């Protein structure tokens, strides 16, 4: 197994009181930790949490060399792996013409059911973290920090840079890097999932709003294009950066600088390549909505080209950020998000036209589409971003095909979820597609490469 620059994760099979099972052990140094990553804080926070969509801490132990190890259940899949799968798209790789049918294909139904369930579960876990009695901001939401059990249960991991809002100083006294509301780290979150305010040096900010933006960028990735890459070329040092994988931008004076010259296809094969779907060395790679490969200024411009250059209307508090006036960007308008998201469900196309994704003040009446949901997170002004408790009532979760959740206990199904989940028929644990009953676990295994678990 892998880890992060500050930790190593391994899989073991110890004898436990409830029988042998695989365990993931995350080990990190407490003496040479990279600021602000803090495994002592992670242990403290995880020990206080209990929710089916948050990874549980089994135990922790410290070695003589001052390495701290966290024992957690081993979970075989990550959201990142699902997103890299060519099966995870409402479209076939090879299409033999467009369809005008208003009914979704079986492939689209399976895609929507799995996407909706994962997104809903992640929001349940994050809503619990943000709740009044918990008050924890994760600050590193991204696909690789969401694990998926064989039954399809989503679990949020990696709390090494989380922030407990309102926590007293005594509770933080033994942390490696104590952090306080008046002096927060802005060096948090990862690449394309970083909220734009973090790029302008704030030492105090709304940590919950940081998570909201990261969720929007993560959910957008369910619908961005998949690009075929050659693993052999990657081994020789060639790779496609996020910006390379997205379409070229218009640069004519007065043109929409953020709009692609032509909308991307759901599946993109680089022109002039010998690669074809199904070749042994071929690998599909999902494009991120924003480009985190070119530093903070590059990321900021990547965001602005899509969401528009900030102004007094779109981001009233922008000029209060410490570094807001240190770099000047060309003035470009926001673009329609749909042209960046070719894997949106085709049957939602008509309804999606009712969502003005160029605005940073979404209307109060939500539309029952995934586009409307993710757009409400990708708003510049932090206070205008959708609150996670409200997100669980978004009408898309009640739209057909209905919400399917893991076949866990009734207590887990209801825990921390909105009241409508208890309504008869609102949630199921299986669904029928092409005449066969499928559970969420069945669907997950259909969309990821076979893996030992």
CA 229 to chain centre: 22
Which residue is listed with tokens 């209060």? 320
What pLDDT, on a 0 to 100 scale, did the predictor assign at position 67?
Answer: 85
Provide the β-strand partners of residue 7. 4, 28
Judge contact between 247 and 259, C-beta under 8 A: no
Contact 449, 122 (CB under 8 A): no
Report the pLDDT value the prediction gives residue 264, as an integer from 0 to 100: 84
Q: What is the pLDDT of residue 380?
A: 99
Q: Is 56 exposed, middle or buried (0-12, 13-18, 19+ CB in 10 A)?
A: middle
pLDDT in tens, the chain (453 residues): 555 555 677 766 666 666 556 889 888 877 777 889 999 999 999 999 999 999 999 999 887 667 888 999 999 999 999 999 999 999 998 775 655 567 899 999 999 999 999 999 999 999 999 999 999 999 999 999 999 999 999 999 999 999 999 898 999 988 899 999 999 999 999 999 999 999 999 999 999 999 999 999 999 999 999 999 877 655 444 334 444 444 333 333 334 455 565 778 999 987 766 666 767 667 899 999 999 999 999 999 999 999 999 999 999 999 999 999 999 999 999 999 999 999 999 999 888 888 999 999 999 999 999 999 999 999 999 999 999 999 999 999 999 998 999 976 455 555 667 888 878 778 888 888 778 888 999 999 998 864 433
User: 352 near 175, Cβ under 8 Å?
Assistant: no
Indicate yes or no: pTM above 0.85: yes
* Residue reference for tokens 């620059």: 5
Structure tokens at 275: 């690669």
Please report whether residue 255 resides in a domain. no
Q: What is the pLDDT, as a whole number, of residue 249?
A: 38
The contacts of residue 131 (CB under 8 Å, 6+ apart) are: 389, 416
Q: Which domain holds residue 128?
A: 3-226+285-447
Report the candidate in 429, 448, 411, 453 with the shortest Cα–Cα distance to residue 113: 429
Cβ atoms of residues 288 and 191 within 8 Å: yes
Provide the number of structural domains found in the chain.
Answer: 1
In this structure, is residue 124 part of a structural domain?
A: yes
The dihedral region occupied by 16, where left means phi > 0, alpha psi between -120 and 50, and beta the remainder, is beta
Is 218 part of a structural domain of the chain? yes
Is there a domain that residue 240 lies in?
A: no
Residues for the chain: how many in total?
A: 453
Residue 152 covered by a domain: yes
The verdict on residue 219 lying in a domain is yes
Residues 310, 313, 319, 321, Cα dihedral to 10°: -70
pLDDT of residue 244: 42
- Say if CB 335 and CB 259 are below 8 A apart: yes
Distance separating alpha carbons of residues 149 and 341, to the nearest angstrom: 27
Q: How many angstroms from the chain centroid is the CA of residue 386?
A: 15
Asked whether the beta carbons of 217 and 209 are under 8 A apart, the reply is no
Residue 250 lies in a domain: no
Do the domain assignments include residue 256? no
Q: Which two tokens stand for residue 87?
A: 């099966």
- Could you tell me the CATH number of the domain that includes residue 294? 1.10.510.10
Radius of gyration of the chain (CA): 22
Q: Give DSSP secondary structure letters for 105-174.
A: PHHHHHHHHHHHHHHHHHHHHHHHHHSTTT-EE-S---GGGEEE-TT--EEE---TT-EETT--GGGGTT
Tell me the torsion sign for CA atoms 63, 67, 71, 76.
Answer: negative
């Amino acid at each position: 197994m892998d880890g992060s620059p500050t930790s190593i994760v391994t899989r073991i099979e110890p004898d436990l009181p409830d029988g042998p099972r695989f365990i993931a052990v995350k080990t990190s140094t407490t003496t040479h930790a990279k600021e602000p990553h803090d495994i002592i804080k992670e242990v403290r926070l995880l020990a206080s949490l209990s929710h089916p969509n948050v990874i549980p801490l089994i135990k922790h132990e410290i070695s003589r060399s001052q390495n701290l190890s966290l024992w957690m259940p081993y979970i075989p899949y990550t959201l990142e792996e699902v997103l890299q799968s060519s099966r995870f798209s409402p479209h076939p790789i090879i299409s033999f013409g467009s369809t005008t049918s208003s009914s979704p294909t079986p492939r689209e139904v399976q895609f929507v059911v799995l996407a909706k369930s994962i997104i809903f579960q992640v929001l349940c876990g994050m809503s619990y973290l943000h709740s009044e009695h918990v008050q924890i901001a994760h600050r590193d939401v991204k696909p690789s920090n969401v694990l998926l059990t064989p039954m399809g249960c989503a679990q949020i991991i990696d709390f090494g840079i989380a922030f407990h809002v309102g926590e007293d100083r005594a509770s933080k006294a033994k942390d490696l890097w104590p952090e306080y509301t008046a002096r927060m780290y802005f060096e948090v979150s990862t690449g394309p999932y970083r909220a734009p305010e973090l790029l302008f040096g704030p030492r105090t900010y709304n940590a919950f709003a940081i998570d909201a933006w990261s969720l929007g960028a993560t959910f957008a990735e369910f619908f961005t294009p998949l690009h075929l890459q050659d693993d052999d070329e990657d081994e020789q040092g060639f790779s496609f950066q996020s910006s390379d994988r997205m379409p070229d931008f218009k640069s004519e004076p007065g043109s929409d600088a953020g709009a692609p010259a032509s909308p991307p296809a759901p599946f993109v094969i680089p022109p002039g390549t010998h690669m074809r779907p199904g070749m042994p060395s071929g690998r599909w790679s999902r494009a991120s909505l924003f480009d985190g490969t070119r530093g903070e200024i590059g990321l900021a411009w990547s965001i602005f080209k899509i969401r528009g250059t900030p102004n007094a209307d779109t981001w009233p508090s922008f000029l209060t950020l410490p570094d807001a006036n240190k770099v000047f960007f060309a003035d470009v308008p926001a673009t329609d998000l749909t042209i960046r998201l070719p894997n949106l469900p085709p049957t939602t196309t008509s309804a999606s036209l009712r969502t003005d994704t160029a605005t940073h003040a979404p209307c109060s009446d939500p539309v029952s589409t995934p586009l409307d949901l993710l757009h409400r997170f990708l708003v510049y002004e932090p206070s205008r971003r959708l609150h996670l408790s409200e997100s669980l009532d978004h009408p898309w979760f009640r739209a057909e095909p209905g919400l399917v959740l893991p076949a866990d206990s009734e207590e887990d199904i209801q825990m921390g979820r909105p009241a409508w989940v208890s309504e008869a028929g609102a949630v199921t644990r299986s669904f029928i597609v092409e005449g066969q009953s499928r559970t969420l676990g069945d669907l997950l295994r259909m969309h990821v490469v076979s893996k030992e678990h």
